[in-house]
Amino acid sequence: MIRRILPCLALLVLLAPARAQQIEIKMATLAPESSPWYDVLARMGERWKAISGGKVKLTIFAGGVLGDEPDMVNKLRIRQVSAVALSGAGMSTIEPGVGALQIPMMFESYEELDYVRDRMAPTLEKMIEARGFLVLNWGDAGWVNFFTKTPVNRLDDLRKLRLFTWAGGNDELELWKTNHFKPVPLAATDILMGLKTGLIDAVPTTPLYALWNQIFGIAGYMSDVKWAPLVGATVVSKAVWERVPAAERDLMMQEARARGLEMRNSIRGMGDAAIKTMTQGQAGKRTAKLVVVHADDAALAEWRRQTEAAYPSIRGSIVPANLFDQARALRDEYRAKSGGRR
């Protein structure tokens, strides 16, 4: 009997380390399961599983089931989840410096954004790492436009409406109020209900998000002014990441970076397609159609003038002054090289 038991005990001892190496990375995101963001994250998880020989499992909690982005960040900090895929709004609650990449009306093209982000990313990643997290990849979700219940051509039109703002952003809330807007702080998961009940009349969001969440069905007008790019990132707990063996960790990071580029490129092409779908309606269905409100040169100049007048209030209060200055200098550097607007 003893001779039979001893080999079994030895086998259990040998297997114990393998079981201990099993790592589940729980990731939260607002992206719904039907979205390309989710699809890319899911493919990344499958590749991680293959690279690690099954030792790393990515579990995705999609569609805001774990709450709004500030809720996700809190869960990340208390280790209820080990990773998050966030927009710039959520990223700014981890590191306010990320806000330098989405200053209103600072950028006019993806080329400008990419030039600035590529040069600022190493600094931002070090700042985020100092807070205990690692950036797996950077991405964006398109340009933020204002979706409204009534047409908005100028900022004074927007001032008449109850405007959604992210709950928890007190500095931004006060900035809107100071500039005579009517901000209503809500969780992103409450936007549709807020529109339906009349709590809000306007939502700054991307066309793709407005399509997937059917925001345009209630807020049926979209100003074509590019307010800001909505950047984002996928972030993981440094402590959890470092449990993965170094060789596999490097390959997994390469995979994450590659998927980030894939996501960025695919999303950009979908923005214009989303606008086309919303303005034309769906074939065979009697659905609401989006009306795009075009800002002429005079209106656009007024948007820019009033927005840039608020930069001193953004610099140092919402975005760290040194990073605000760096973003603007890099943008100007790009424009000087490319012959763009100055």
Interval 272-320: pLDDT, tens: 899 999 998 655 555 678 999 999 999 999 999 999 999 999 999 999 9
CATH entry, 21-338, from 3.40.50.300, 1.10.10.1100, 1.25.40.10, 3.40.190.170: 3.40.190.170
pLDDT digits (tens, 9 = 90+) for 8-46: 444 444 444 444 468 999 999 998 898 888 999 999 999
More confident residue, 202 or 34: 202
Q: What is the DSSP string of 291-314?
A: EEE---HHHHHHHHHHHHHTHHHH
> pTM for this one?
0.88
> What are the sequence ranges of the domains in the chain?
21-338
Q: What pLDDT does 44 receive?
A: 95
What are the start-end ranges of the H helices in 2-146? 2-20, 36-51, 69-77, 88-94, 110-129
* Residue 1: pLDDT band with limits 50, 70, 90: very low
Q: Which element (helix H / strand E) includes 222?
A: strand 221-223
Say which range, 3-7, 61-65, 79-83, 133-137, has the weakest mean pLDDT.
Answer: 3-7
Give the amino acid at 121: A
Sole residue written with tokens 């990223």:
91
Instruction: State pLDDT tens for residues 53-97.
Output: 999 999 999 999 999 999 999 999 999 999 999 988 899 999 999
The per-residue pLDDT for 169 is 75
